[in-house]
Chains A and B, each alone.
Chain A
Amino acid sequence: MATPAAVVRPTRTLRKPLISGDELAKAFTFFFAALIIVVTFALVWQLWIGSSPAKEKFGFRFLTSSLWNPVTDEYGALPFIYGTLLTSFLALLISVPLGVGAAIYLSELASPRLSNTLTFLVELLAAVPSVIFGLIAIFSLVPLMRDYIEPALQNAFGSTPLFSGPAFGVGYLTAGMILAVMTFPFIISVSREALMAVPREQREAALALGATKWESTWQIVLPFAKLGILGSVFLGLARALGETMAVTMVIGNDPAIHASLLAPGYTIAAVIANEFTEASGKMYSSALVELGLVLFALTMLINGVAQLMIVLTTKKGSAKA
């Protein structure tokens, strides 16, 4: 035992004074990788201390008050939280069935060539900058909603509070629709991958037992890919919550809570975008930073869940390979 150690030791001491190129390269690249952690911590830290005046003054009331008045320096975040959650929920209501349906078509029915081409196009849609969605929505979707869709909804369901009030064109529903278009590319491409990771034998077994194509898809394939699809939904939700420009351009900028989906509202990201530059007072900008902190916490939570679900299904998928 002693001899090998004695043999090894001299070579070590010989090497020691020199810094090997590998160690240098490792330390050098580590510096940049660590920068990612440093920047992220700095971001959270700045949000935390930047919002401390507002946190000290309003405490928990900030989250439950619906008063937003820069003149009297009173700030409550509830209308913005409500608007953010409501528009994102509306978006998912539209984009989940549409996205999962399209993903089923792409993974189960379309030929690989068609499927890849269509997925490529859908992923291009994900690359369209959000301000362009906003631009198009202002001049096409908003008039369309104001003149046709919203009056039609009022005629049909006007007695319920959900569709009451005048039709402005801008508001929760319009923002939700734009967000739906911005989220389904994510839902489609991730769901499709999850569906394609389902082992072929699962489908064959169901079909061999006499199930129709749809029965095999609905009862066997979808449950198998459930977690990955759910992950894609959470990914879309995280994007919808943090989405700024398109929503800012169609939400209507009204810091109040309305039951009607046709009413103008406000979201967290939109109020920061509109008011941050003109926030003169210390408390005003601090309240906006706290809104940023709330938005950050919300999206991080949702993103974390999404990441976990997607990792779990890809693991399951690779296990069969």
Chain B
Amino acid sequence: MAQVMTSRNRRRNAVNNVMLTLTGVCAVLTVSTLFLILSYLVYNGGKSLNLDFFTKLPLSPGQEGGGMANAILGSAEIVLFASLLGLPVGFLAGVYLAEFSPKRLGFLIRYTADLLNGVPSIVIGIFAWTVVVRPMHQFSALAGGFALSLMLIPITARGTEQFLLEVPRTMREGALALGAPMWVTIATVVVPAARKGIMTSMILGVARISGETAPLLFTALGNQFWSAGLNQPTASLPVMIFTHATAPYEDWHRQAWAAGLVLLGLVLVANISARMIVSRGASLPR
């Protein structure tokens, strides 16, 4: 009897050790993917990155050198336009959700925002093409920015809402008790108290849209030269990476690596600094 028990216990212990080790292996494997990606990108991108990348225009295939200055400026234009459109709308919608919305309507808007957030980015591109590109008969930075702003609105709205709701009730009550109307309370007490969190979700949102490619493919299109204006086809870093990486030219691949390194650097710096603002490990809206 005793012998049966010990052999059974030995097996249970072995299973325990093996399975627990396996979970550790899973954790190591998943986390190391990030380092694998980073080091591969830094290695290849570092070889290809130089000052020309930031100051010169792309050259036609076969010519050595050149850069992606137009794509850097184009990305900045598109993301800036998307932020000007998306951040205020998202922020104000978030204020409504957290402070004013009646229960049922609030649920409906919240649910729709999550729905919009889950729409595949390529479908957002189709929508922006139908309502901006087709009527204008022109691919443009504006259309690209519009598409990206649609992705930014739900992220900002839900982020703003979440952090406003975390402001303690007593702070509101204090202001209200001093005779301030609701809107003064919100503008001078609640929003400033949630400032850090709201900023964080905005930075994360902008970082996310600045890496998006699919919504730009048939809205901003792309351009080998400087864009002639906001209503003209405009180059952007993500689309450049796509076209250059899939083209059969050796030198274009090098440019794609350099662009990838720059883009990922920007996105990761934004993400890390945003998460440093709020305490580490705090759950953030996805």
Contact = CB atoms under 8 A, between A and B. Distances in A.
Interface stretch (B57-65, B193-201, B223-231, B256-264): B256-264
Interface in B101-126: 101, 108-109, 111-116, 118-126
A170 to B, nearest CB: 11
Contacts of A116: 280-281
A314 B88 CA distance: 30
A50 interface: yes
Contacts, number: 271
B31 A121 contact: yes
A103 to B, nearest CB: 8
B84 to A, nearest CB: 14
A189 B285 CA distance: 11
Given A242-B120, A242-B122, A244-B122, A131 B93 contact: no
B236 to A, nearest CB: 10
B163 interface: no
B23 A47 contact: no
* Chain A: number of interface residues, binned into ranges: 35 or more
Contacts of A131: 211, 213, 238, 241-242, 260, 263
Task: Determine the interface band of chain B, counting residues with CB < 8 A from chain A.
Answer: 35 or more
A32 B92 CA distance: 6
B96 A29 contact: yes
Given A136-B40, A218-B19, A110 B27 contact: yes
Interface string B116-159: 10111111111101110000000000000000001001100100
Interface in A68-119: 97-102, 104-106, 108-110, 116, 118-119
Interface in A218-268: 218, 238, 241-245, 248-249
B126 A50 contact: yes
Contact of A132 (B182, B204, B263, B283): B263
A152 interface: no
B100 A139 contact: no
A24 B186 CA distance: 13
Given A120-B275, A140-B40, A215-B12, A34 B109 contact: yes
A300 B118 contact: yes
B211 A213 contact: no
Interface in B1-40: 12-13, 15-16, 19-20, 22-27, 29-31, 33-34, 37, 40
A47 B27 CA distance: 41
A79 to B, nearest CB: 17
Question: What secondary structure prevails in chain B residues at the interface with A?
Answer: helix
Nearest to B119: A296
10 contacts: A30-B100, A32-B96, A43-B119, A105-B26, A120-B280, A127-B211, A135-B257, A242-B119, A269-B122, A299-B118
Interface of B: 12-13, 15-16, 19-20, 22-27, 29-31, 33-34, 37, 40-41, 44, 88-90, 92-93, 95-97, 99-101, 108-109, 111-116, 118-127, 129-131, 150, 153-154, 157, 181-184, 186, 204, 207-208, 211-214, 217-218, 221, 238, 241-242, 245-246, 253, 256-257, 260, 263-264, 267-268, 271-272, 275, 280-281, 283-284, 286
Given A32-B89, A99-B26, A299-B119, 20 more contacts: A30-B100, A31-B92, A35-B153, A37-B108, A105-B23, A120-B280, A124-B34, A130-B213, A131-B213, A131-B238, A132-B241, A138-B246, A140-B40, A241-B120, A242-B118, A245-B214, A272-B125, A276-B129, A307-B111, A307-B114
